[in-house]
Amino acid sequence: MEKKMDTLTLGSHRLVHLDLKGAPLRTCYFEKLFPLLRTWGATGLLLEWEDTFPYNRELSPIGSNGPSSLASGYSVQEAGHILQIAGDCGLAVVPLVQTFGHMEFILKHDEWRSLREVEAFPSSICPSNPRTLPLVKSLIRQIVNLHPDIQYLHIGSDEVWHLGLCSVCTKRAAASKYGKSALYLEHILAIAQYIQETYPYLKIIIWDDMLRSIDLQILNEHYIGKYVEPMVWHYNPRDNFALPIGLWDKYSTVFPNIWIATAFKGATGSTQHIPVIRHHISNHEKWLEELAIHVNKVHEFRGAAFTGWSRYDHYATMCELLPTAIPSLALCLKVWLYGYSEETHAQVAKSLGYIDHPLHIIPQPRPIPIPSNLLFPGWEIAVGMEWFLNFKTKFHNIVVSDQYMMIKVENMQKRWSFSTFSLEKNRFPIILGICH
């Protein structure tokens, strides 16, 4: 009999992250997926729209309404339908909109190129530019308007690779006793105060990585804990899982409410084809151990986001497509609730249609037998990717085989002999001409 983990450790929210940048799914796929997510234990969605969102008016160039946008972006009607499906399935929606780093989808456009912190890099926006805050406010306003029933808004703010580098930011950092930390926190506070004034019912979430290196005193003096809730993300498995020493003590002093983020896909390489499920299970197991030790330090542990990245940034290649990661997601949700066991594994595998073939959680030597007629939405894509990897392995084995190398050498020798013969034949009359 499955025993559910302690509620204090788990928190009350289990958000499945849908990273729509680069791989927006059809609405009919959500109709099949969302009921399963609820069955597997999810309570909501962390929805990262990026440029698939139907921005309009002054923001229309960056969204699915734009003239140069992806044809696969969502219309207002389609976006509303996605939210309706989620609501019908009892899944709360937390939209994620980037407001500091990872803003390539905006800063690549000529209209906003001048807002880059470093002209050559479109990832980070300049917090000192007077046009930055109005742009961020517009983004937030349009996102919130299309999500009327939300309680939380995630404002991103992770991996701000270029901070305090433009001429104005350099002077501001030099004039502040807290340097670049002040630049970061003041930008976050300006955004958070706008949200609090305009939408007082909303709670604000940010990624925590930029906060990790900021001293406790600086965080407290900026009263950042009054405005935002950090989401502590870490995607490594047990053998190299390492949060900064003292992180929980520092955060619990500053922030009354804390989230964490795991990963079920998109965290083992930017060109990964299918998830290494054992890696992700181990990540969840280690997170549970971490929380069991430290969660009592936190006033309220909100819960977890199960992240599934589609690509590492706006210009990056695609990593695992969502259908290939459905087994990993189902197992990770079950592991979070009940822990990993052979019984849990078998139950999930059977529910997904792995009856005649095992559901492997560690990579197997290829080529491997591939199942068919599975029971989860998009299984055809998952199976197709397995076939592709089998053929890729077979091709590689042929190319590096001794027999192939011998044939290749023989062909090279033939071409070399033919070329030499042709060269000598062509040179002969020239030599004669010179001699005459």
- Catalytic residues, by residue number, are 159
Q: Residue 314 in contact with residue 50, Cβ under 8 Å?
A: yes
- Long-range CB pairs of 105-109 (<8 Å, 24+ gap) are 105/21, 105/50, 105/51, 105/62, 105/314, 106/62, 106/135, 106/139, 108/314, 109/61, 109/62
Amino acid in the structure at residue 403: Q
Q: Cα 14–279–152 angle (5° rounding)?
A: 20
Contact 114, 105 (CB under 8 A): no
- Alpha-carbon gap, residue 113 to 117, rounded angstroms: 10
Would you say 233 and 271 are in contact if contact means Cβ atoms under 8 Å apart? no
Alpha-carbon distance of 297 to 280, in angstroms, equals 26
Q: 382 CB contacts (<8 Å, ≥6 apart)? A: 274, 323, 324, 326, 327, 374, 376
Residue labelled with tokens 């989808």: 105
